[in-house]
Amino acid sequence: MRWEELSSTQLAAAVAADPALVALVPVGATEQHGPHLPVGTDTVIATAVAEAAAGGDGAPAVVLPAIAYGASQFHGTELAGTVAFSGEDTAARAYQVARACLDSGVRRILFVNGHVGNAAPLWLACDRFRREHPAGRIGVLQWWDLTPEIAARATADAVDWHANAAETSIMLALRPELVHTDRFAEADDPDRTAGLVFRYSVAQVSANGVTGYPSRASKELGLELWRDIVTAARGVVAAARDEQPPLA
């Protein structure tokens, strides 16, 4: 179910028929992804994860339009394409969307995050939501940490990854026409963050906006990883429908 494709009456009826309905809010980014991936990569993947997660048997969910701008200011302006919010603005906008879901009667909401830089702002949005609306349920689903096995593959070529082999492989599986495979060789750039104490802008740790080795990507690896992501994400949605606080 797509939120924007329903009439107001249809949405109200869906909530009335299924009080455990989960709203999935894709949260991506519009930011440079090196010479080989589109600037909308994080939004493409977040939306695809949400749509796939909503398609599980016995775990219906409604998918909202994606928030396509995120906390990406640390990507700077040296490379074209980044349109960013601050972390504070990202948290505020995410909260507003969750609050609107609650206003429409949907009490279980998951942000489906496609950009690592959104993680802290989304947790801040969750913190505000649970304080102000304790009867609601709010959480964050991130494809790269759904299971230990997925996390290991996401970080295989870079711990502080960006546009790396895993992300590139997923895009080859989902939207191969947007991936510039002829730029892989120049896209490879190592992870320089091991052992660092401080956080730095992308320009201070990456020569080209990439951290990792896109040349190791393949559609086959992407399809295998994608199958595991979908299975795990559907499991999260199924659990979200029934979950209650451990202590009432």
| Cα–Cα distance list, 105 to 8, 10, 11, 27, 136 (Å) | 11, 12, 9, 21, 10
Strand partners, 23: 62, 109
Q: With 0-12 CB in 10 A as exposed, 13-18 as middle and 19+ as buried, what is 203?
A: middle
> Which strands, in side-by-side order, build the sheet including 22-27?
61-63, 22-27, 108-113, 137-142
Residue 229 identity (one-letter amino acid): I
Walk me through the domains of the chain, giving residue ranges and CATH numbers: 3-237 (3.40.50.10310)
pLDDT of residue 59: 64
Mean pLDDT of the chain: 97
The residue behind tokens 């995410």 is: 94
Q: What is the pLDDT along the chain (248 residues), one digit of tens a residue?
A: 999 999 999 999 999 999 999 999 999 999 999 999 999 999 999 999 999 999 866 668 999 999 999 999 999 888 999 999 999 999 999 999 999 999 999 999 999 999 999 999 999 999 999 999 999 999 999 999 999 999 999 999 999 999 999 999 999 999 999 999 999 999 999 999 999 999 999 999 999 999 999 999 999 999 999 999 999 999 999 999 999 999 97
pLDDT of residue 205: 96
Residues 143 and 160: their CA atoms lie apart, in Å, by 15
Task: Check: CB of residue 21 under 8 Å from CB of residue 110.
Answer: no
pLDDT of residue 76: 86
pLDDT of residue 248: 74
Other C-beta atoms closer than 10 Å to the C-beta of 193 total: 17
CA-nearest of 70, 97, 99, 101 to 83 is: 70
Q: What is the pTM of this model?
A: 0.97
Q: Where are the beta strands (DSSP E) in 121-209?
A: 137-142
**What phi and psi, each to the nearest 5 degrees, are found at residue 137?**
-130, 135
Residues 7 and 206: their CA atoms lie apart, in Å, by 46
